[in-house]
A and B are shown apart, each in its own frame.
Chain A
């Protein structure tokens, strides 16, 4: 997709977006509501027309091609199975439109149902299936026509958490098995980071960073990415001679060329370690625990530093030793830190190229 733009009246949904998907790759577009991720998907599918820009698939310009001729498989957020058809008929629908013979159609439909582990449900109707099963059938239906690209528009949003996790992994397994180029749209970070080859974090119609999940998380290119993906502490610090000092801790910078001056350091909660501190302050960074949020294997501890609060992510076993009101000593792990100019927290200071 080159320089794609789309407007809804005065609202800019996409602003000269460039995106290239490599064959067999799974790219996840991640972003808040209204960032343009679904619009990107729908433009690629042909369900909407771009105001400017071009779309190429396999070197062929498909910008003006109608949706029915684009040879893309799509799975929707809302349950999109045809209620009046059985599961088998749903999966075979695209094949029937392509005038494939009944026997071959049936064989292919069953192959797809086996791929999604639903061969025994072939003669049921959609309303007789659970939400997860319906989305798996929708996936089988999209794959049955052997599309060039698979498009998934928040397919897991309507499902409960456990089913979502299972289906997410299943989608990834199937995508790898089939080797199909896939564009997946979601607002759920965990989904994006768990299955993507590359994550595209979007904001206001353009991509802020497009990189593998590890890079997006640990080396965010902009403060928006740092704050949208995972939690981030914003701490005032100072840069001097290529080094950052935050609350008495000296930390390396992602961008060593950052000019001297006051900055806002973006520190991940898991980079903050806590220890019980009963002694009077002795130069260590010390604070008081305000709250402990249990998250399962880990817990999030909110610590009051006096003039700011900081979040730390620790194991639940460690957190139980730090009840609310207790004094703690904090250290920040010396990982490279992204900073933004303190005068404008939204301005990004680019690290490595995405």
Chain B
């Protein structure tokens, strides 16, 4: 009996061992697959960036190194076109204004709708996502008349913030909606109200601080959109960073400053992402 029991036990152990072996093999194959995919796509994205970086560090002679293209970011100027630095400044200002207006518009509205008029939520969602379905050229045709009037009062490219807010709506909405969905907005607002908070206090001091991560995400998405926007600025005859880079490329196709500026913009966006991730992680760790 003991021998039969021992036989049964060793058969079970062998079977368990075989299963573990198969699972380990499967895990190994999965890891290999992951690494291959990661490497292939990593190279697909990284190689052009590395080429761009190398080109921006190219000296006058092929094969030499130089920081000229990077130094030119602050001083490059095409004839008859505003300096590159000015375009960079305008774009950064546009990004800040667009983010601010978008947040002031969307955050209280979304919280208010969630708390007080939930039946409007679907309508707001559709309105916010609508710009995704409208091609830029159609937007420009629609906004052309309005911008004709705006240009009577101001020719500054900062006026682009109106249309950029519209463009950023779908991305910002989704980021903020995810944040709102992660907190119990109703209970928090009722708790605050029962303690004597006004609706303003509820939105600004109770709900919005708990949406910090999603607000940061919305800011990042808006910022990236503004930094990379070309079509609408070009068609409405404004000069932002991308329009300026395009002009430079038309006039001086081999200008290293094109690549140094583009790479700098990319680095800036990455840096922003890292900062936001760090802030978000720190907040999660703290509370």
Contact = CB atoms under 8 A, between A and B. Distances in A.
Q: How large is the interface on B (under 10, 10 to 19, 20 to 34, 35 or more residues)?
A: 20 to 34
B210 A68 contact: no
A93 B194 contact: no
Given A97-B201, A125-B287, A126-B287, A83 B194 contact: no
Nearest to B206: A82
A97 B212 CA distance: 22
Nearest to B201: A97
Interface in B190-246: 190-198, 201, 206, 209-210, 212
Interface stretch (A69-77, A178-186, A278-286): A69-77
Nearest to A83: B210
Interface stretch (B17-25, B104-112, B146-154, B180-188): B180-188
B206 A78 contact: no
A98 B188 CA distance: 19
Contacts of A29: none
Nearest to A78: B187
Interface in A272-328: none
Nearest to A42: B190
Interface string A129-152: 000000000100110010000010
B195 A76 contact: no
B61 interface: no
B209 A84 contact: yes
B286 interface: yes
A128 interface: yes
B194 A125 contact: no
Interface in B232-267: none
Most buried by A among B188, B195, B206, B286: B195
Contacts of B286: 125
Nearest to A45: B194
B196 A98 contact: yes
A68 B197 contact: yes
A76 B196 contact: no
Contacts of A66: 193
B243 to A, nearest CB: 41
Nearest to A138: B191
Contacts of B193: 46-47, 66-68
Given A82-B210, A83-B210, A128-B287, A97 B195 contact: yes
Contacts of B197: 68, 93, 97
Contact of A68 (B187, B196, B206): B196
Contacts of B209: 84
Given A83-B210, A84-B210, A78 B184 contact: yes
B287 A94 contact: no
Contacts of B206: 82
A83 B183 contact: yes
Contacts of A71: 196
Contacts of B195: 68, 73, 93-94, 97, 141-142, 145
Contacts of A151: 194
Contact of B190 (A47, A82, A86, A94): A47
A71 B187 CA distance: 18
Contact of A72 (B194, B198, B210, B287): B194
A309 B79 CA distance: 102
Contacts of A81: 191
A141 B201 CA distance: 17
Nearest to B284: A127
Contacts of A142: 194-195
Contacts of A157: none
B287 A80 contact: no
B287 A145 contact: no
Contacts of A79: 184, 187
Interface in A47-92: 47, 66-74, 76, 78-84, 86
A70 B188 CA distance: 17
Contact of A80 (B188, B196, B198): B188
A73 B194 contact: yes
B287 A76 contact: no
A46 B209 CA distance: 25
Most buried by A among B184, B188, B191, B212: B191
A69 B197 CA distance: 9
Contacts of A125: 286-287
Given A97-B196, A97-B201, A128-B287, A74 B190 contact: yes
B196 A83 contact: no
A45 to B, nearest CB: 6
A79 B183 CA distance: 11
Most buried by A among B187, B196, B286: B196
Contacts of B184: 78-80
Nearest to B287: A125
B191 A76 contact: yes
A222 B197 CA distance: 42
27 contacts: A47-B193, A47-B194, A66-B193, A67-B190, A68-B193, A68-B197, A70-B194, A71-B196, A73-B195, A74-B191, A74-B194, A76-B187, A78-B184, A79-B184, A80-B187, A80-B188, A82-B210, A84-B209, A84-B212, A93-B192, A94-B195, A97-B195, A97-B196, A125-B286, A125-B287, A126-B287, A142-B194
Q: Top 8 nearest A-B pairs by Cβ distance?
A: A125-B287, A94-B195, A80-B191, A74-B194, A67-B193, A84-B209, A97-B196, A78-B187
Given A83-B287, A84-B210, A125-B286, 11 more contacts: A45-B190, A78-B184, A84-B209, A93-B192, A93-B197, A94-B195, A126-B287, A141-B195, A142-B194, A145-B196, A151-B194
Interface of A: 45-47, 66-74, 76, 78-84, 86, 93-94, 97-98, 125-128, 138, 141-142, 145, 151
